[in-house]
């Protein structure tokens, strides 16, 4: 019940943002394991793998989701009984959730140090970790003003503008297409990430790459704040990050499109910013250049090519 409910809330974006999605999935697996009346190890394992599949299929782009699910369920494989597997899984879920919260605090601290004194910052979409960094920098007196974009079509920028404003930061709310117009006033752009590839490219909310391009053109530093569990090991095997394309109705009402038979509305939810437009990626493991993405995958996500080639898609998909 909790499982299906969490899956529905992630799918409908009631729970959104890569970090929150990952923690919600870990929590759902933990609660599902706790509620499962099952004393047979193999049955327990199978049911938890089924649960993992339901969760990972809710949204395709945020790599935090399969990484969190893998972290939570992989250790139970060494268990000798259903009870041991349940305990291990529940402990892993709690560990993931607490590490995730700690990571946000650490990134906010490191990221805030990277923001120059008296900065005007710009952010796009609603990233928990980018907002935490901006607020931390504000508390240290490093931020003078903020710009938050609207983020069509789902308007996540409202949440960001409110959070920044509530923290006391004088905040300008602008439409997405005004980002380049205001870039001349900006000292640093900060965004979050849904995925980071082995080559250091950053997948984030649609429009991020245009803002990165405008920042690059204006010589404005572009900072990405992200937990290490948003790095994508599969990209080292040549996998591409799937870009979610959401329903056209989010962009234009179905009644309007009905009157335009030759018009197709496209609604990709994310885009890819090449590493060349990213100045720094701030993680809980430190602030790194995008070229060091491989090191994060190797050292923080347990990258072992032989094992991952076999198991990259959690084994319920085999
Ligand atoms: C959210 C989005 C966020 C990242 C990072 O997209 O693109 O910038 O997920 O967020 P959506 P966080 O609203 O479609 O989920 O730092 O909170 O993980």
Mutate to test the pocket of ligand 1, among 63, 97, 125, 247 (most ligand atoms within 8 A of CB): 125
Mutate to test the pocket of ligand 1, among 63, 122, 127, 191 (most ligand atoms within 8 A of CB): 127
* Residue 242 phi, psi (nearest 5): -70, 135
Q: Which residues are catalytic?
A: 125, 194
Q: Using CA atoms, how far apart are residues 239 and 233, in angstroms rounded to an integer?
A: 9
Taking the centre of ligand 1 as the mean of its atom positions, its distance from the CA of residue 17, in whole angstroms, is 3
On whether the CB atoms of residues 257 and 265 are closer than 8 A, the answer is yes
Taking the centre of ligand 1 as the mean of its atom positions, its distance from the CA of residue 156, in whole angstroms, is 9
Nearest residue (by CA) to ligand 1, atom 10, is 127
Q: Using CA atoms, how far apart are residues 260 and 258, in angstroms rounded to an integer?
A: 6
Mutate to test the pocket of ligand 1, among 9, 17, 224, 230 (most ligand atoms within 8 A of CB): 17
* Residue 107 phi, psi (nearest 5): -65, -40
On whether the CB atoms of residues 191 and 231 are closer than 8 A, the answer is no
Taking the centre of ligand 1 as the mean of its atom positions, its distance from the CA of residue 225, in whole angstroms, is 11
Omega before residue 121 within 30° of 0, cis: no
Residues with CB under 6 A from ligand 1: 16-20, 62, 125, 127-130, 156, 192-194, 204-205, 269
Q: Which atom of ligand 1 is nearest to the CA of 125?
A: 8
Instruction: Give the pLDDT score at 312.
Output: 46
On whether the CB atoms of residues 316 and 49 are closer than 8 A, the answer is yes
Q: Using CA atoms, how far apart are residues 144 and 189, in angstroms rounded to an integer?
A: 14
Q: Which atom of ligand 1 is nearest to the CA of 124?
A: 8
Q: Using CA atoms, how far apart are residues 154 and 163, in angstroms rounded to an integer?
A: 17
Q: In a structure prediction context, what are the per-residue pLDDT tens digits for the chain, which is 318 residues long?
A: 799 999 999 999 999 999 999 999 999 999 999 999 999 999 999 999 999 999 999 999 999 999 999 999 998 988 999 999 999 999 999 999 999 999 999 999 999 999 999 999 999 999 999 999 999 999 999 999 999 999 999 999 999 999 999 999 999 999 999 999 999 999 999 999 999 999 999 999 999 999 999 999 999 999 999 999 999 999 998 999 999 999 999 999 999 999 999 999 999 999 999 999 999 999 999 999 999 999 999 999 877 666 555 544 444 333
Instruction: Give the pLDDT score at 309.
Output: 57
Q: Using CA atoms, how far apart are residues 92 and 295, in angstroms rounded to an integer?
A: 23
On whether the CB atoms of residues 151 and 178 are closer than 8 A, the answer is no
Instruction: Give the pLDDT score at 170.
Output: 98
Taking the centre of ligand 1 as the mean of its atom positions, its distance from the CA of residue 221, in whole angstroms, is 20
Nearest residue (by CA) to ligand 1, atom 16, is 127
- 66-95 tens-digit pLDDT: 999 999 999 898 899 999 999 999 999 999
Domains and CATH numbers, the chain: 2-105 (1.20.120.420), 106-300 (3.40.50.10470)
Q: Using CA atoms, how far apart are residues 52 and 55, in angstroms rounded to an integer?
A: 5
Taking the centre of ligand 1 as the mean of its atom positions, its distance from the CA of residue 274, in whole angstroms, is 18
Compute the C-alpha angle 29/33/38, nearest 5°.
150
Instruction: Give the pLDDT score at 301.
Output: 87
């Amino acid at each position: 019940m909790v499982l299906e409910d969490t899956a529905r809330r992630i799918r409908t974006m009631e729970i959104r943002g890569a970090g929150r999605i990952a923690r919600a999935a870990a929590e759902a697996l933990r609660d599902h394991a706790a509620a499962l009346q099952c004393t047979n190890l193999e049955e327990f394992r199978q049911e938890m793998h089924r649960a993992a599949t339901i969760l990972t299929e809710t949204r395709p782009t945020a790599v935090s989701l399969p990484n969190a699910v893998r972290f939570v369920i992989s250790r139970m494989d060494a268990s000798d009984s259903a009870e041991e597997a349940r305990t291990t899984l529940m402990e892993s879920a709690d560990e993931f959730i607490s590490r995730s919260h700690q990571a946000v605090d650490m990134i906010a601290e490191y990221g805030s140090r990277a923001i120059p004194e008296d900065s005007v910052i710009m952010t796009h979409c609603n990233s928990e970790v980018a907002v935490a960094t901006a607020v931390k920098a504000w508390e240290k007196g490093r931020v003078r003003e903020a710009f938050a974009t609207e983020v069509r079509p789902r308007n996540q920028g409202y949440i960001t503008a409110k959070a920044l404003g509530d923290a006391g930061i004088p905040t300008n709310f602008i439409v997405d297409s005004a980002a380049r117009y205001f870039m001349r006033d900006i000292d640093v752009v900060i965004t979050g990430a849904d995925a980071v590839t082995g080559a250091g490219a950053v997948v984030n909310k649609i429009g991020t790459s245009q803002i990165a391009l405008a920042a690059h053109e204006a010589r404005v530093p572009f900072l990405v704040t992200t937990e290490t569990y948003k790095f994508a090991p599969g990209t080292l095997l040549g996998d591409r990050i799937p870009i979610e394309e959401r329903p056209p109705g989010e962009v234009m009402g179905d009644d309007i499109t009905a009157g335009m038979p030759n018009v197709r509305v496209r609604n990709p939810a994310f885009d890819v910013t090449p590493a060349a437009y990213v100045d720094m990626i701030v993680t809980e493991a430190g602030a790194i250049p995008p070229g060091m993405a491989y090191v994060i995958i190797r050292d923080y996500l347990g990258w072992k090519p032989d094992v991952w080639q076999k198991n990259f898609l959690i084994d319920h998909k085999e």
